Amino acid sequence: MLPPLKLGLCGLGTVAQGMLTVLHDNREIVREKAGRDIQVVRVASRTEKPDVDLLGGSFSTDLATVTDDPDLDVVVELIGGEGVALDLVRRTLRAGKAVVTANKAILASKGDELLSLVREHGGMLAFEAAVAGGIPIIATLTRSLVANEIRLLAGIINGTSNYILTAMTESGQSFAEALADAQKLGYAEADPSFDVEGIDAAHKLTILGALAFGVGFKFDEVYTEGISEVSGEDIEYARQLGYQIKHLGLARTGPDGVQMRVHPTLIPEGHLLASVNGVMNAVLVRGNVTGDTLYYGPGAGALPTASAVVADLIDIARGNRPELPLMTRDNSVTLLGIEDVESGHYLKIPSLDKPGVFARVATLLSEREISIEAAIQKEQAIHTETQEAWVPIIILTQPVRESVMNDAIDALQQLPEIVGRIRSIRVEHLGDE
């Protein structure tokens, strides 16, 4: 048997503790699959050591004891965030060593630099745990679907947002109520903006897009919109039209370039992604050879994420190198701005209940060559300020360029019969183009 793989661990939060649990509880499995032991030699965390079995590793509050130990084979970075974690990953890679990390933020913002360091110094960088925890989507893109040109990625990749939208859909809760429940259950942070405003999903999509399309890690160029403005009404109207609202990360390649965007999306209720509920995640991948495949599982949580970390460790222990699929790609692929993206739109247009309003709306859309796929006109309500009778006109359009749709919404908003802000949510059928 080979000598043990010597591991240094930075960070002692829940994922790190999960990793120690897996290395302890599944010790025999890990040894068998790795063909050698994985030995925790050093553990460092800036806070004092919690009451955790370090499996024989020596503890320090000084991260340098890990990064500067030349005897370690691999450093596991589970601190998270960009500051300290980024420094120590850089330092370890500059020493030509292997890093295993679950840190999506540093990959999304500095992935290109970190991969350069790997190439320059001969180290390794494995990050299966950084995207969708228990779902092996990194290995799928870099290995299993490696013979494919990837055409589309569509993922439910933020469990908090999916929990909230599921609760709003299934029990009619408002966004605020569902968020409060998610916070009580530990599915959302006290400050939930990172999740519900789509930033976390954009980090993950940045990584998936870089792997699938070779566009580099361009977090700043991913269009990002969260779920905080989705209303129970929108969900109900979508349902009546045969759709569910999900928060999707979408990356697609086409003749004009690559588009990467994160936003609430109407998808057909018969699509498998529409059945992915609660905190679960799923990613649809369309390859030019396999067609559509889909991967479903827990997107977060200490143990599922730890499972991915340990899988990377076993892979390195076996002597495999984590794949760096971008090594020979250049970063010159065009990334489309959101104004150039085409998608269908759900429009909720609050209008006076007068004859001819729907016709005026339809004419205005038609003048801009926007086709209506479906429409419903709802029961009357009374406008709170003007006391006039009004109805929401609900329209689903065929795919149309975002800039054209924005112009149309601006024009609709000027009509005297429109009595409130028009709400627009993108629609994706996720069918073959």
**Active-site residue set:** 204
Kindly indicate which of the ranges 67-75, 105-113, 269-277, 385-393 contains the residues binding its own copies, using the contact rule CB under 8 A.
Answer: 269-277
Nearest to 349 by CA among 404, 415, 403: 415
* Min CB(136)–its own copies separation in Å: 3
**Residue 240 Cα distances to 178, 268, 355, angstroms:** 21, 11, 24
**Kind plus residue range of the DSSP H or E element containing 248:** strand 243-254
CB of 231 or CB of 293, closer to its own copies: 293
Work out whether 333 is an interface residue with its own copies (CB under 8 A). Answer: no
Phi-psi region at 349: left, alpha or beta (left = phi > 0; alpha = psi -120 to 50)? beta
- Residues forming beta bridges with residue 365, ordered by sequence position: none
Task: Enter the tokens of residue 3.
Answer: 């000598």
Work out whether 298 is an interface residue with its own copies (CB under 8 A). Answer: yes
Work out whether 346 is an interface residue with its own copies (CB under 8 A). Answer: no
Amino acid type, 174: S
Site string for its own copies, 5-44 (x = CB under 8 A): -----------------x--xx--xx-xx-----------
* Min CB(307)–its own copies separation in Å: 4
**Residue 278 Cα distances to 24, 198, 244, 262, 340, angstroms:** 30, 16, 14, 18, 32
Give all strands (DSSP E) within 271-418, no chain letters. 280-287, 291-298, 342-352, 372-377, 381-382, 389-397, 400-401
Site string for its own copies, 154-173 (x = CB under 8 A): --------------------
* Min CB(341)–its own copies separation in Å: 25
Which of 12, 15, 40, 145 touches its own copies (CB under 8 A)?
Answer: 145
Work out whether 207 is an interface residue with its own copies (CB under 8 A). Answer: no
Q: What is the DSSP letter of 149?
A: P
CB of 79 or CB of 308, closer to its own copies: 308
Work out whether 216 is an interface residue with its own copies (CB under 8 A). Answer: no
CB of 46 or CB of 329, closer to its own copies: 329
Strand, helix or coil for residue 427: strand
CB of 290 or CB of 371, closer to its own copies: 290
User: First CA to last CA across the chain, in angstroms?
Assistant: 52
Work out whether 308 is an interface residue with its own copies (CB under 8 A). Answer: yes
* Min CB(426)–its own copies separation in Å: 23
Calculate Rg over the CA atoms of the chain: 24
Q: Which pairs count as long-range contacts for 145-148, CB under 8 Å and 24+ apart, including other chains?
A: 145/285, 145/287, 145/290, 145/293, 146/323, 146/325, 147/289, 148/287, 148/288, 148/289, 148/290
Which of 295, 350, 402, 428 touches its own copies (CB under 8 A)?
Answer: 295
Which of 14, 148, 183, 228 touches its own copies (CB under 8 A)?
Answer: 148
CB of 93 or CB of 145, closer to its own copies: 145
Burial group, residue 270, by CB count within 10 angstroms (0-12, 13-18, 19+): exposed
Which of 136, 159, 209, 344 touches its own copies (CB under 8 A)?
Answer: 136
Phi-psi region at 224: left, alpha or beta (left = phi > 0; alpha = psi -120 to 50)? beta
* CB contact set of 366 (below 8 Å; sequence gap of 6+): none
Distance of alpha carbon 198 from alpha carbon 196, whole angstroms: 5
Distance of alpha carbon 239 from alpha carbon 274, whole angstroms: 11
CB of 234 or CB of 315, closer to its own copies: 315
CB of 320 or CB of 366, closer to its own copies: 320
* Min CB(322)–its own copies separation in Å: 11
Amino acid type, 97: K
State the virtual CA torsion across 57, 58, 61, 67 in degrees, nearest 10.
Answer: -70
Which of 3, 56, 71, 289 touches its own copies (CB under 8 A)?
Answer: 289
Work out whether 102 is an interface residue with its own copies (CB under 8 A). Answer: no
Which of 77, 128, 353, 428 touches its own copies (CB under 8 A)?
Answer: 128
Work out whether 415 is an interface residue with its own copies (CB under 8 A). Answer: no
Work out whether 146 is an interface residue with its own copies (CB under 8 A). Answer: yes
Work out whether 290 is an interface residue with its own copies (CB under 8 A). Answer: yes
CB of 202 or CB of 313, closer to its own copies: 313
Q: What is the DSSP letter of 418?
A: B
- Contact residues toward its own copies (CB under 8 A) are 22, 25-26, 29-30, 32-33, 128, 133-136, 139-140, 143-149, 272, 275-276, 287-298, 303-304, 306-308, 310-311, 314-315, 318, 320-321, 323, 325, 328-329
